[in-house]
Each structure stands twice: as structure tokens, then as C-alpha cells.
Amino acid sequence: MHRDPMLKESPSQTAGPYVHIGCLPNLCGIDGVYPEDLGARMYADGVRGQKITVRGRILDGTGSVVRDALVEVWQADAEGRMPGGDPRGPADPAFAGFVRRAADPETGDWTFDTVKPGRVPWPDGRLQAPHATLWIVARGINLGLHTRMYFADEDAANDTDPVLARIEHRGRVATLLAQPEGPDAYRFDIRLQGPDETVFFDV
């Protein structure tokens, strides 16, 4: 059955500089309303897969660090199953798939612990390379920015990934590759604007 759109999506507005009040209230000192902030942990004890830590910064068009951004991460478990209703079967019950983080208000650094994601199928059944979806909002960003983080040590998978293949300017693919930085650690910096601008997606 086909359904046509009848209504129009509500227009986006910036999250503004005080997004933390609503999205991470405990972080900004509003104690006692929620027991903990949403998206505090990607996984619980007993999670399967390779545990990794990702660190990064977000830079604006002048190269300055963005200190008031909020980043959300959504990804598959180590076997490539999506939590939250994968039609192929349930994901690892110890894996949430979602975290929410704020840039540090002084340094702009942000970090999260996760497991390296498995491969998720493309609609035609081919396998995508391991990736996490990142969604970035902040003061000055009118519509949340979708990007993907891939892994620089997954050359073979990255070479056949259907999304990376859509990037016509091949030099820009590198902006989506998290770089290994010590054992089980990666760095992923995001550049909102400028010569090394991160690839953003319209999904």
C-alpha cells in the first residue's frame, strides 16, 4: 500500500547554546529531575565485541573549537544488528546503540566508549562497512547535521561501502575515517566548514 505525504515536516530550529538543560540536565547541574542523563552508556556489562574509545573535537570554519555542541551516536552492535527493532532479529541485549555527549565547555573535546560495530546490510543486501551515525546540533546549526564515522583500519570494507562510493570527490572520503590512536582507541574530528570540511549527508 502506498501512502502519500499529506502534512509537512515541522521545520527545524537551532538547538541553541543551552541545549544541555533539556538533553543533559545532570551535566549542567540541574540535579534531581532525572536519575541520569539520557544516552549515558552505550553498553552494559557482558557486551559482545571489541570495546573501543572514540575521541574528537568539532571545529568551525575559522578552525576554532566548538564548545557547545551536542553529539548523538547511533550504531549497530558487534554483529551488525541494530538495537530498536532490527527485522533480522534482536541485537545484543547489553548494547544500547545510542549515546549522547556534549563537547567539554572549556576544551571542546568529546568522547564515548562503544564496541566496534559489525556490518549492516544496504537495502539491496550488500554489506556496508562498519560505521556509526553521528548527529550534531549546536548554537548556529539550524538543522542537525548527519554524518557517519567509518574506521581507517577497515580498508577492504570501506572500498566496497555503498555510501562512501557516493562521494564523488574521493579526497573527501578521508574526512569520515576515524584514525586509530593507540590500542582500542580512535580519533574522529569533525570540521563544519572549510577546506577539510567533513562530509554531511541528506538521508
Q: Which of residues 61-100 bind another protein (CB under 8 A)?
A: 61-62, 64, 66, 68, 72, 74-76, 80-89, 96-98
Q: Residue 183 Cβ, how far from another protein at the closest point, in Å? A: 27
Say what the alpha-carbon torsion angle 44, 45, 47, 48 is, to the nearest 10 degrees.
170
We find the least distance from the C-beta atom of residue 29 to another protein, in angstroms, to be 7
Which CB atom, from 12 or from 50, has the smaller least distance to another protein?
A: 12
Mask of contacts with another protein, 130-169, x by CB under 8 A? -x-x-x-xxxxxxxxxx-x-------------xx--xx--
Least distance to another protein, CB of residue 185, Å:
23
CA distance 176 to 45: 29
Output the smallest distance, CB 94 to another protein, in A.
15
Sequence-distant (6+) residues with CB within 8 A of 14 are 137, 138, 139, 140, 141, 142
CA distance 114 to 137: 21
Q: Are 185 and 111 in contact (CB under 8 A)?
A: no
Contact by Cβ (8 Å): 95, 123: no
* Complex with another protein: residue 8 or 156, whichever CB lies closer: 8
String marking each residue 35-54 x if it binds another protein according to CB under 8 A? x--xx---------------
16 belongs to the binding site for another protein (CB under 8 A): yes
Residue count, binding to another protein (CB under 8 A): 92
Residue 188 identity (one-letter amino acid): F
Distances (CA, A) of 97 to 7, 93, 123, 135: 30, 10, 20, 13
When the beta carbons of 30 and 185 are compared against another protein, the nearer one is: 30
200 in contact with another protein (CB under 8 A)? yes
Those residues whose C-beta lies under 8 Å from the C-beta of residue 164, and which sit 6 or more positions away, are 129, 150, 158, 173, 176
Residue 23 or 52: the one with the smaller Cβ distance to another protein is 23
Match 543551552 to its residue by C-alpha cell: 18
